[in-house]
């Protein structure tokens, strides 16, 4: 019955001939383990193809959605981590197997006539594979891939003549952006697979035409089926096993979302391009083109011409040279790669940069997972950009800590132009309590010793004077005033000072009386208890609220803020230095209005890496 069906099918399709071609190919000298690399490569490519298509069903190629979709695949989708892990490590396996395959081919002399053309097909496959890695690395649109790819295209752009044109076409403009991502994606899932299949068909067809290169003293012959097929299958299964192990144990990494504006990311290419990168360093400066063009170009040229050396030199000598060349190539690249890793490990600025990058990664993964956070609809780039703890802290470090401190952290040396308060937990209950209990504590003292000889108002130590002359020692009184002042920061932005002062309930608020009696000799708060004196202290209306802080940071010279100081004594205004988002992030940071960092979290429930606070 089955046999009949087989005959029927064969008479329609001729499949038996194909099977015969595929499986009964004779192998002179018999099946061997060392012939498995080519098949293992094809097998790994199949894994890449299948996992790649699966990834395509969930990946979304645009600069605002790419990171989010990869995050979703990795941490939310059923088996997404596994599929992506296989694909991630599969790409590295391809590079390694390619190297092994190439070394084996050269050792066996299989690059020589009549197989020259097949060697060249192999070279084409090598370039396509590297192209896959390069384009694929950018697709998650995370910091690591973004900067690595930038380094790589920078190298390519140095190619004489066509370099800049290539760069422009591939990058899709002058700088990296959405166009770059869509172009790389097009190359990765359209152009390169087509090329690879094309070259692979040519490669295998030619391989079948010439057969394996048997060792000189090989005897007898064996058919492809079953032994070699078995070896090849085992090799592919082993590769799959190793990939699955890495996917499970390590997981494909995902760095913080790409931030084209970041200036301190320690950019490094993927490890298999690292040797080239290291080589570049050696030719830094005027001879850079030697590292980017001459050396790689010469290597490729020698590889291409290798089969032809047989015609010029004695065959055995040519083979010997070819082996030496490939060995020194692999050895040299290996050496440079190790050197690159070692140099980085010893370089404090790289280590520090890496630590910052890892912190950002941790933060991004935590925010993406958090219920209150999540990936903003405007794109994953805003995940950290809209995070007070990341963006606000960065602004604080850039612009504020020259005078202020944050939890004691400061860049203000002993000769800082001015000294402001510690800004952590600004105007919170505890902060106000500490301040009123001891305004002369170093944390709170504002000194203004600017230009020598410049006269400084005595008003600056107003609160210290207040403490000396009166102060509040009584615990109950202190509780009352702290409560009253802390609530000033909760006054909504649309309430005017008149409306607030006219509210009949205000007088009943806890601490009202003490506030009016103690504070309004110097401070103002609308018309409350106004003594009609010259204003010599900031207004306390809505003190510590977002709107108060915005004014204070943008224009401290505004009336009701620090207008009573001379300009050289006053904090400079930042109105034209901060974007609205930056200002908001700083204010929310000062007001502790952000999602805290847990001691420990996993980006995904149950499985995968655990991130700890430090």
Site of interaction with ligand HEC (CB under 6 A): 399-400, 402-404, 417-418, 420-421, 423, 426, 436, 446, 459-463, 465-466, 481, 485, 518-519, 521-523, 536-538, 543, 549, 552-553, 556, 562, 565, 570-572, 574, 586
**Of the candidates 470, 479, 404, 475, the residue with the CA atom closest to the CA atom of residue 442:** 404
Residue 23 or 454 having the CB closest to ligand HEC? 454
> Toward ligand HEC, which CB reaches closer, 344 or 477?
477
Angle at 400 between CA 398 and CA 404, to 5 degrees: 140
Provide, rounded to whole angstroms, the least separation between the CB of residue 460 and ligand HEC.
5
Tokens of 259: 């931030």
Q: How far is the CB of 580 from ligand HEC (least distance, A)?
A: 14
Let me know how long the chain is.
614
Residue 490, class by beta-carbon neighbours within 10 Å (0-12 exposed, 13-18 middle, 19+ buried)?
A: exposed
Minimum gap (Å) between residue 436 Cβ and ligand HEC: 6
Strands in 472-607 per DSSP E: 600-601
Rounded CA gap, 540 and 560, in Å?
A: 8
In whole angstroms, give the CA distance from residue 396 to residue 27. Answer: 71
C-beta of 243 vs 565, nearer to ligand HEC: 565
Give dist(CA 429, CA 483) in Å, integer.
7
Distance CA 485, CA 541 (A): 9
In the DSSP assignment, the letter for residue 483 is H
Closest by CA to 179, choosing from 58, 62, 59, is: 62
Closest to ligand HEC by CB, 187 vs 519, is: 519
* Residue linked to tokens 């609809």: 377
Q: Take residue 2 and report the two structure tokens written for it.
A: 């089955």
Distance, CA of 342 to CA of 274 (rounded, Å): 12
Min CB(473)–ligand HEC separation in Å: 12
Q: In whole angstroms, how close is the CB of 602 to ligand HEC at the nearest point?
A: 34
Q: How many angstroms separate the CA atoms of 512 and 484, rounded?
A: 7
Task: Report the residue number, 128 or 587, with the smaller CB distance to ligand HEC.
Answer: 587
Task: Kindly list the distances between the CA atom of residue 435 and the CA atoms of 222, 457, 465, 485, in Å, as whole numbers in the listed order.
Answer: 90, 21, 13, 11
Q: How many CB atoms lie within 10 A of CB 457?
A: 14
Comparing CB distances to ligand HEC, the nearer of 236 and 539 is 539
Least distance in Å: CB of 472 to ligand HEC? 6
Please confirm whether the linkage preceding 324 is cis (ω < 30° from 0): no
Q: In the bound complex, what is the minimum distance in angstroms from residue 508's beta carbon to ligand HEC?
A: 19
CA distance 179 to 518: 63
Tokens 């890793």 found at: 341
Q: Closest distance between ligand HEC and the C-beta of residue 543, in Å?
A: 6
Tell me if 517 sits within 8 A of 440, measured CB to CB: no
Question: Which of 53, 54, 30, 50 lies closest to 42 in space, CA to CA?
Answer: 50
Q: Report how far residue 467's alpha carbon sits from residue 350's, in angstroms, rounded to the nearest whole number.
A: 49
Task: Return the H-helix or E-strand segment holding 27.
Answer: strand 26-28
DSSP assigned state of 285: G
Q: How far is the CB of 478 from ligand HEC (least distance, A)?
A: 9
Q: CB of 425: closest distance to ligand HEC in angstroms?
A: 12
Query: At a CB cut-off of 8 Å and minimum separation 6, what does 174 contact?
Result: 168
Other beta carbons less than 10 A from residue 301's beta carbon: 10
CB of 570 to ligand HEC, least distance (A): 4
Residue closer to ligand HEC, measured from CB, 267 or 522: 522
Q: Which residues of 354-372 are buried (b: 16+ CB within 10 A; e: fewer)?
A: bebbeebbbbbbbbbbeee
Minimal CB distance residue for ligand HEC: 462
Considering the complex, what minimum distance in angstroms separates the CB of residue 351 from ligand HEC?
28
177 DSSP β-pair partners:
none
Output the smallest distance, CB 540 to ligand HEC, in A: 6
């Amino acid at each position: 019955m089955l046999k009949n069906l087989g005959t029927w099918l064969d008479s329609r399709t001729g499949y038996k001939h194909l099977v015969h071609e595929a499986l009964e190919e004779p192998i002179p000298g018999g099946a061997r383990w060392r012939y498995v690399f080519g098949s293992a490569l094809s097998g790994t490519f199949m894994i890449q193809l299948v996992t790649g298509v699966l990834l395509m069903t969930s990946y979304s190629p645009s600069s605002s959605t790419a990171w989010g979709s990869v995050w979703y695949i990795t941490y939310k989708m059923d088996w997404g981590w596994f599929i992506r892990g296989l694909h991630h490590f599969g790409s590295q396996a391809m590079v390694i197997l390619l190297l092994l395959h190439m070394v084996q081919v050269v050792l066996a002399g299989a690059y020589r006539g009549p197989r020259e053309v097949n060697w060249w097909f192999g070279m084409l496959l090598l370039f396509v594979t590297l192209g896959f890695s390069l384009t694929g690395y950018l697709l998650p649109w995370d910091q690591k891939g973004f900067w690595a790819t930038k380094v790589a295209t920078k190298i390519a752009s140095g190619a004489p003549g066509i370099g800049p044109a290539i760069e422009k076409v591939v990058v899709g403009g002058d700088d990296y952006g959405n166009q770059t991502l869509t172009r790389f994606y097009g190359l990765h899932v359209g152009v390169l697979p087509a090329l690879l299949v094309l070259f692979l068909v040519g490669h295998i067809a030619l391989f079948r035409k010439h057969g394996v290169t048997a060792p000189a003293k090989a005897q007898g012959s064996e058919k492809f089926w079953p032994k070699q097929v078995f070896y090849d299958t085992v090799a592919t299964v082993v590769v799959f096993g190793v990939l699955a192990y890495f996917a499970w144990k390590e997981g494909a990494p995902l760095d913080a979302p790409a931030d084209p504006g970041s200036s301190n990311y320690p950019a490094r290419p993927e490890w298999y391009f690292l040797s080239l990168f290291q080589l570049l360093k050696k030719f830094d400066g005027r001879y850079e083109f030697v590292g980017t063009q001459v050396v790689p170009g010469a290597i490729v040229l020698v590889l291409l011409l290798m089969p032809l050396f047989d015609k010029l030199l004695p065959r055995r000598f040519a083979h010997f040279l070819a082996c030496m060349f490939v060995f020194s190539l692999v050895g040299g690249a290996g050496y440079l790669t190790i050197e690159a890793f070692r140099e980085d490990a010893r370089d404090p600025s790289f280590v520090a940069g890496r630590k910052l990058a890892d912190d950002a990664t941790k933060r991004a993964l935590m925010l993406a997972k958090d219920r209150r956070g999540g990936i903003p609809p405007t794109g994953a780039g805003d995940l950290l950009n809209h995070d007070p703890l990341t963006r606000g802290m960065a602004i604080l470090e850039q612009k504020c800590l020259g005078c202020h401190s944050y939890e004691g952290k400061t860049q203000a040396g002993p000769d800082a132009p001015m000294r402001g308060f510690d800004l952590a937990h600004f105007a919170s209950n505890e902060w106000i309590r500490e301040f009123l209990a001891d305004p002369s504590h170093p944390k709170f003292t504002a000194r203004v010793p600017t230009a020598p000889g410049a006269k400084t108002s005595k008003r600056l130590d107003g609160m210290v004077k207040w403490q000396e002359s009166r102060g509040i020692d009584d615990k109950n009184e202190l509780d009352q005033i702290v409560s009253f002042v802390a609530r000033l920061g909760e006054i909504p932005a649309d309430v005017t000072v008149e409306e607030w002062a006219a509210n009949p309930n205000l007088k009943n608020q806890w601490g009202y009386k003490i506030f009016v009696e103690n504070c309004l000799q110097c401070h103002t708060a609308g018309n409350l208890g106004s003594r009609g004196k010259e204003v010599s202290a900031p207004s306390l209306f809505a003190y510590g609220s977002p709107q108060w802080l915005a004014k204070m940071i943008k224009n401290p010279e505004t009336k009701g803020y620090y207008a009573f100081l001379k300009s050289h004594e006053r904090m400079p205004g930042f109105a034209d230095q901060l974007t609205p988002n930056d200002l908001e992030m700083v204010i929310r940071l000062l007001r502790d209005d952000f999602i805290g960092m847990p001691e420990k979290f996993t980006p995904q429930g149950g499985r995968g890496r655990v991130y700890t606070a430090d």
